[in-house]
Amino acid sequence: MRETVTIAKAMAEENRLRVLLALDAGQLCACQITELLGLAPSTVSRHMAILCQAGLVESWKDGRWVHFRLAEGAAQAREAMDWARKWLAPSAQAQADAKRLAEVLSQDKEELCGRLGKCRK
């Protein structure tokens, strides 16, 4: 039951749901997530830590970049993502984020990271 509650708490915040839907398209670095959400890097870092602790997201460091992707492990995490896709992906916010994500991904990662500061977890 504890795992279910942890996942529910992690998904009980709009920006974390937005990140999950963005990661559904593939891995992203911290700077790309920061740019997408338009939040302070420290706020994004906190959201990502909560998603990682809930087992919904995995992270790894590659040089100066910290990358994130959806976790491939637990069945509850997969079911939670299935729910998010079904109920949230059609929303206006998710559609706007998908457009914005395409813009973010078209930017040079080095330049983006330089503008936002060092990519961190």
pLDDT band per the 50, 70, 90 thresholds, residue 117? low
Query: b or e along 16-34 (b: 16 or more beta carbons within 10 Å of the residue's beta carbon)?
Result: bbbbbbbbeeeebbbbbbb
pLDDT of res. 79: 85
What is the reported pLDDT for 80? 83
Sorted by sequence, the CB contacts under 8 Å of residue 41 that are 6+ apart come out as 30, 34, 116, 117, 120
Q: What are phi and psi of 78, to 5 degrees?
A: -65, -45
| pLDDT given for residue 114 in this prediction | 76
pTM: 0.88
Tens of pLDDT along 34-67? 999 999 999 999 999 999 999 999 999 988 789 9
Domain boundaries, the chain: 2-113
- Report phi then psi at 69, rounded to 5: -150, 165
Instruction: Give phi and psi for 28, each to the nearest 5.
Output: -140, 155
Is the Cα torsion angle 60, 119, 20, 13 positive or negative in sign?
positive
Q: Tell me what pLDDT residue 121 has.
A: 46
Task: Say yes or no: domain 2-113 is CATH 1.10.10.10.
Answer: yes
